[in-house]
């Protein structure tokens, strides 16, 4: 049964991907990408990888659609005709592909039960983590505790993505004279139903994000997903009530502060555990009982991740949307 | 327990029937606005029936509440999305079936008048 | 009961395939959005049903996320039209 | 919608989502609800639209009726899909809003969209533009069963004459 569902989903995924390649209308491409990420999230669900599906749902279908659309608003909607011959790129791609396939020949067979990863790493996590970390959700134990360094690195990468976008597009500033902003606002003022429904649903989205943040230890979820969902709520507000309104609720400056605060919060847990005589991010030293220490450590670093991701996502959206507004006004 | 299962199966199957009909309507109806009606079948009655069918499968705990939330969110957001989409389409200049027929008729008449004038 | 749920799963997949076809071959850009939106709501249902089929009701959390995120995506698409007029 | 009511709704939402009754998670819940209320307040200060969202529990009296309505019109539209979709006579009509108080108009518009066969296209101060699959559904709306149901949901303060 699960295999059948997988096959159907995968073939739908392949058809969507093929259609995306041959479409010239980039708007249609963005729409199909939305479907693509919905499909891949469904495959993750079907494979029982709930946390990954969660992330894909929030990031792939939500934030990336919004960001790609704002990029389209900046760049234009049709793909440029490529006049150059595609023989050389094709050759390069074929050569690289062949090299990669040759490389996989040495790898252990895909999905076989006697692969090294199923011999040492996975069983250890499954058997020892309830004793060592003590969280019901194994994925969170691995991500936040065993792989705490990686997750810290990822958070820093997300942060530097924000720095990159802001330095390319310019940081959005709160506009003082709201005359030109009024032009934009007028466009969506007509959507009364949308405004009322958004008003009703935004608080629920934010609360749901906070629920995801604090229940990452028990079920699917955690800081990353929570940050993205919360950012999506504010993006909805910005889309419906205009960017300048959103910037008055959460200012870009405050977001930049929050983003660095999130990363620092994560790092400070590491440094604190070093001061306590452990290694960097050694949660066992945070409290007298190692399990309690683990629990506290994970809670705080997840909070750091959540804050950082939220602030970064929203800042990037602000930067794009601000640029779009500026380019349409002039 | 068996009665619940039967009722829930009936609900699920009816929901699927409506959902399928709506999806077919997406192809059989002549213009965009009528197709929104077809899609709204799958968004309203099919969702209600399928979630109701699943509700009977729960043991009336937190999952029941979560299913209710999903139903509630969909009932709030999907008509809003349909409305906003139809509104944008209308403001974007898409004509309804009657209007476009009328427009064609007018154009034809104009053409005929021009021909008669020549 | 599992058989019924499995059948429902397959049926939702069929409906999703129809919506996908509409989104791919759309006469107007609005039809495309309509197809994508319908695909999104069916995804929510699919996740909920699969959750029960596989005996993992925690999937409902993901279904909730989808129900919310799908709406935001739709609003973003409509907002995009404020800046650029549709072509086809 | 009043801030106090929001606190109740949000707390309920949290409890039903979480289901954990440990003091630590409950306090996280309290903090979260507070945070969200803070955000609501900030948003309301910026856009001045807090009052636009009006929600009362009496809406639950309306839902069964709406459900029945959705059922019957779904049957109707389904019949149309399978029988003769080519000779539809879709119509546009304007429905007056003068009997519906301001804060219930969105509910009215969404109820129209939610019942298959009718779709609200546009809404302004005086009327809703409705697209219907058949002229009969517009007549039904004009008869005003839904209008009366919604208008009678809760009395508006200071308007009881």
Question: Residue A118 has which token pair?
Answer: 């199923």
Residue of D19, D85, D118 with shortest CB distance to B29:
D85
> What letter does residue A276 receive in the DSSP assignment?
T
Partner chains of B (3+ C-beta pairs under 8 Å): A, C, D
What's the total number of domains in chain C? 1
Question: Contact C61/B62 with Cβ under 8 angstroms?
Answer: no
Geometric angle at alpha carbon A71, from A66 and A74, rounded to 5°: 130
For residues C14 and A193, which has the higher predicted lDDT (pLDDT)? Answer: C14
Q: Is D138 exposed, middle or buried, given 0-12, 13-18 or 19+ CB atoms closer than 10 A?
A: buried
What is the Cα–Cα distance from D74 to A319, expressed in whole angstroms? 45
Phi-psi label, residue D48: left if phi above 0, alpha if psi -120 to 50, beta otherwise = left
Whether B92 shows a pLDDT value over 50: the answer reads: yes
List Cβ neighbours of B88 (8 Å cut-off, separation of 6 or more).
C30, C78, C81
Whether C86 shows a pLDDT value over 50: the answer reads: no
Least confident of C37-41, D2-6, D7-11, D51-55: D51-55
What's the total number of domains in chain B? 1
What is the Cα–Cα distance from B64 to A94, expressed in whole angstroms? 52
For residues D91 and A17, which has the higher predicted lDDT (pLDDT)? Answer: A17
What is the Cα–Cα distance from D131 to A329, expressed in whole angstroms? 34
Contact: D32, A207; criterion CB under 8 Å: yes
Contact: C62, A41; criterion CB under 8 Å: yes
Q: Give Cα B17 distance to the centre of its chain.
A: 14
Min Cα separation D146/chain B (Å): 16
Q: Which of D91, D116, D123 to mutate to test the interface with B (most CBs of B within 10 A)?
A: D116
Whether C65 shows a pLDDT value over 70: the answer reads: yes
Q: Is A212 exposed, middle or buried, given 0-12, 13-18 or 19+ CB atoms closer than 10 A?
A: buried
Same domain membership, residue A318 and residue A215: yes
Q: What sections of chain A are H helices per DSSP?
A: 2-22, 26-46, 50-55, 64-75, 87-105, 116, 122-132, 138-140, 148-169, 179-189, 192-214, 223-241, 243-249, 252-275, 290-329
- 């409305």: which residue's tokens? B83
Whether residue A88 lies inside any domain: the answer is: no
Chain D residues closer than 8 Å to A211 by CB: 14, 17-18, 32
Same domain membership, residue D44 and residue D89: no
Nearest CA in chain C to B59: C57
Same domain membership, residue D48 and residue D65: no
Whether residue A307 lies inside any domain: the answer is: yes
Least confident of A303-307, B19-23, D53-57, D99-103: D53-57
Whether A69 shows a pLDDT value over 80: the answer reads: yes
What's the total number of domains in chain A? 2
Whether residue A95 lies inside any domain: the answer is: no
Q: How confident is the model at residue D161 (pLDDT cuts 50, 70, 90)?
A: very low
Strand partners, A78: A25
Q: How confident is the model at residue D87 (pLDDT cuts 50, 70, 90)?
A: low
What is the Cα–Cα distance from B16 to A6, expressed in whole angstroms? 20
What DSSP letter does each residue of B26-72 carry, written as one string?
A: HHHSSSHHHHHHHHHHIIIIIHHHHHHHHHTTS-SSHHHHHHHHHHH
Whether residue A238 lies inside any domain: the answer is: yes
Q: Which of A38, A55, A79 is the last residue of a domain?
A: A79
Q: Is A289 exposed, middle or buried, given 0-12, 13-18 or 19+ CB atoms closer than 10 A?
A: exposed
B21 touches chain D (CB under 8 A): yes
Contact: A42, C53; criterion CB under 8 Å: no
Contact: D52, A211; criterion CB under 8 Å: no
- Residue span of the structural domain in which D124 resides: 59-151
Q: Model confidence over A229-267: pLDDT tens digits?
A: 999 999 999 988 888 888 889 999 999 999 999 999 999
Residues in chain A: 330
- HEC profile for chain D? CCHHHHHHHHHHHHHHHHCCCCHHHHHHHHHHHHHHHHHHHHHHHHHCCHHHCCCCCCHHHHHHHHHHHHHHHHHHHHHHHHCCHHHCCCEEEEEECCCCCHHHHHHHHHHHHHCCCEEEEEECCCEEEEEECCHHHHHHHHHCHHHHHHHCCCCCCCCCC
Whether residue D158 lies inside any domain: the answer is: no
What is the Cα–Cα distance from B16 to B42, expressed in whole angstroms? 9
- Residue span of the structural domain in which B66 resides: 2-117
For residues A34 and A182, which has the higher predicted lDDT (pLDDT)? Answer: A34
Q: Give Cα A145 distance to the centre of its chain.
A: 20
Minimal CA–CA distance to A232: which of C64, B84, B95, D92? C64
List Cβ neighbours of C58 (8 Å cut-off, separation of 6 or more).
A50, A219, A220, C51
Q: What is the pLDDT of residue A186?
A: 44
Element (H, E) at C66: helix C59-83
What is the Cα–Cα distance from D142 to D139, expressed in whole angstroms? 5
Q: What is the pLDDT of residue A123?
A: 84
Contact: D52, A215; criterion CB under 8 Å: no
Q: What is the pLDDT of residue A183?
A: 46
Q: Model confidence over B76-89: pLDDT tens digits?
A: 898 898 888 888 88
Same domain membership, residue D66 and residue D48: no
Min Cα separation C77/chain A (Å): 7
Contact: C81, B92; criterion CB under 8 Å: yes
Whether residue D157 lies inside any domain: the answer is: no
Contact: B76, A194; criterion CB under 8 Å: no
Element (H, E) at C29: helix C29-53
- 């004279």: which residue's tokens? A177
Q: Which of B87, B88, B90 to mutate to test the interface with A (most CBs of A within 10 A)?
A: B87
Q: What is the pLDDT of residue B91?
A: 78
Question: Contact D112/D100 with Cβ under 8 angstroms?
Answer: no
Residue of A190, A215, A237 with shortest CB distance to D43:
A237
Same domain membership, residue D122 and residue D73: yes
Q: How confident is the model at residue C27 (pLDDT cuts 50, 70, 90)?
A: confident
B82 touches chain D (CB under 8 A): yes
Whether residue C88 lies inside any domain: the answer is: no
Q: Is B117 exposed, middle or buried, given 0-12, 13-18 or 19+ CB atoms closer than 10 A?
A: exposed
Q: Model confidence over A178-218: pLDDT tens digits?
A: 444 444 444 455 678 888 888 889 999 999 999 999 988 88
Q: What is the pLDDT of residue A329?
A: 62
Contact: A197, D106; criterion CB under 8 Å: yes
What is the Cα–Cα distance from C20 to D110, expressed in whole angstroms? 26
To the nearest 10°, report the CA torsion of A229, A233, A234, A235: 90
- 């929901």: which residue's tokens? B15
Question: Contact D103/D54 with Cβ under 8 angstroms?
Answer: yes
Contact: A220, C46; criterion CB under 8 Å: no
Whether residue C42 lies inside any domain: the answer is: yes
Question: Contact D116/D73 with Cβ under 8 angstroms?
Answer: yes
Neighbours of A277 (CB within 10 A): 8
For residues A288 and D52, which has the higher predicted lDDT (pLDDT)? Answer: A288
What is the average per-residue pLDDT within C31-48?
Answer: 90
Whether D159 shows a pLDDT value over 50: the answer reads: no
Q: What is the pLDDT of residue A127?
A: 85
Chain C residues closer than 8 Å to B16 by CB: 7-8, 11-12, 15
Strand partners, A25: A78
- Residue span of the structural domain in which A323 resides: 136-330
């Amino acid at each position: 049964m699960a295999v059948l569902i997988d096959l159907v989903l995968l073939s739908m995924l392949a058809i969507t991907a093929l259609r995306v390649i041959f479409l010239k209308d980039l708007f249609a491409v963005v729409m199909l990408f939305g479907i693509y990420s919905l499909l891949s999230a469904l495959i993750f669900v079907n494979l029982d990888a709930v946390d990954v599906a969660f992330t894909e749902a929030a990031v792939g279908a939500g934030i990336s659609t919004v960001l790609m659309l704002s990029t389209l608003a900046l760049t234009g909607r049709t793909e440029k005709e490529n006049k150059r011959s595609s023989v050389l790129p094709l050759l390069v791609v074929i050569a690289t592909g062949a090299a990669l396939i040759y490389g996989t020949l040495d790898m252990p067979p895909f999905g076989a039960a006697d692969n090294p990863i199923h011999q040492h790493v996975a069983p250890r996590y499954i058997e020892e983590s309830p004793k060592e970390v003590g969280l019901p959700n194994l994925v969170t134990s691995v991500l936040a505790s065993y792989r705490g360094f990686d997750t810290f690195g990822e958070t820093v990468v997300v942060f530097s993505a924000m720095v990159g976008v802001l330095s390319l597009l310019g940081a959005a500033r709160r506009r003082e004279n709201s005359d030109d902003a009024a032009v934009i606002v007028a466009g969506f003022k007509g959507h009364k139903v949308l405004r009322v429904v958004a008003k009703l649903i935004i608080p629920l989205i934010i609360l749901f994000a906070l629920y995801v943040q604090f229940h990452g230890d028990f079920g699917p979820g955690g800081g990353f997903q929570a940050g993205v969902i919360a950012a999506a709520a504010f993006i909805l507000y910005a889309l419906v009530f205009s960017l300048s309104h959103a910037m008055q609720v959460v200012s870009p400056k405050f977001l930049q502060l929050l983003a660095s605060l999130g990363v620092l919060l994560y790092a400070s847990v590491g440094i604190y555990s070093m001061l306590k005589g452990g290694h960097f991010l050694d949660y066992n030293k945070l409290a007298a009982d190692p399990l309690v220490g683990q629990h506290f450590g994970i809670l705080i670093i997840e909070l750091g991740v959540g804050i950082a991701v939220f602030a970064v996502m929203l800042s990037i959206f602000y930067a794009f949307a601000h640029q779009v507004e500026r380019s349409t006004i002039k | 327990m068996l009665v619940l299962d039967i009722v829930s199966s009936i609900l699920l199957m009816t929901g699927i029937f409506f959902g399928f009909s709506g999806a077919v309507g997406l192809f059989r109806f002549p213009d965009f606005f009528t197709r929104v009606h077809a899609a709204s079948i799958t968004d309203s009655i099919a969702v209600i029936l399928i979630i109701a069918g699943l509700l009977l499968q729960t043991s009336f705990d937190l999952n029941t509440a979560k299913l209710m939330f999903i139903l509630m969110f969909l009932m709030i957001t999907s008509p809003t999305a349909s409305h906003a989409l139809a509104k944008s389409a209308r403001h974007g200049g898409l004509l309804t079936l009657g209007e476009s027929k009328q427009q064609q008729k007018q154009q034809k008449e104009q053409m005929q008048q021009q021909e008669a004038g020549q | 009961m599992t058989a019924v749920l499995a059948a429902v799963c397959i049926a939702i997949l069929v409906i999703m395939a129809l919506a996908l076809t509409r989104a791919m071959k759309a006469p107007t850009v609005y039809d495309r959005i309509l197809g994508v939106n319908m695909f999104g709501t069916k995804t929510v249902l699919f996740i909920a049903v699969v959750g029960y089929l596989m005996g993992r009701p925690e999937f409902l959390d993901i279904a909730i996320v989808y129900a919310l995120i799908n709406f935001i995506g739709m609003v973003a698409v409509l907002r995009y039209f404020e800046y650029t007029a549709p072509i086809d | 919608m009043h801030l106090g009511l929001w606190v109740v709704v949000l707390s309920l939402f949290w409890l039903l989502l979480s289901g954990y009754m440990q003091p630590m998670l409950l306090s996280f819940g309290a903090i979260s609800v507070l945070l969200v209320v803070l955000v609501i307040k900030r948003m309301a200060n910026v856009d001045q639209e807090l009052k636009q969202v009006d929600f009362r529990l009496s809406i639950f009296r309306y839902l069964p009726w709406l459900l029945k309505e959705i059922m019957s019109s779904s049957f109707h539209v389904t019949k149309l899909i399978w029988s003769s979709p080519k000779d539809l006579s879709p119509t546009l009509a304007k429905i007056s809003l003068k009997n519906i108080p301001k804060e219930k108009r969105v509910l009215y518009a969404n109820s129209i969209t939610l019942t298959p066969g009718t779709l609200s296209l546009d809404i302004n101060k005086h009327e809703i533009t409705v697209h219907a699959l058949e002229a009969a559904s517009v007549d039904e709306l004009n008869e005003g069963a839904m209008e009366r149901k919604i208008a009678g949901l809760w009395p508006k303060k200071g308007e009881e004459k």
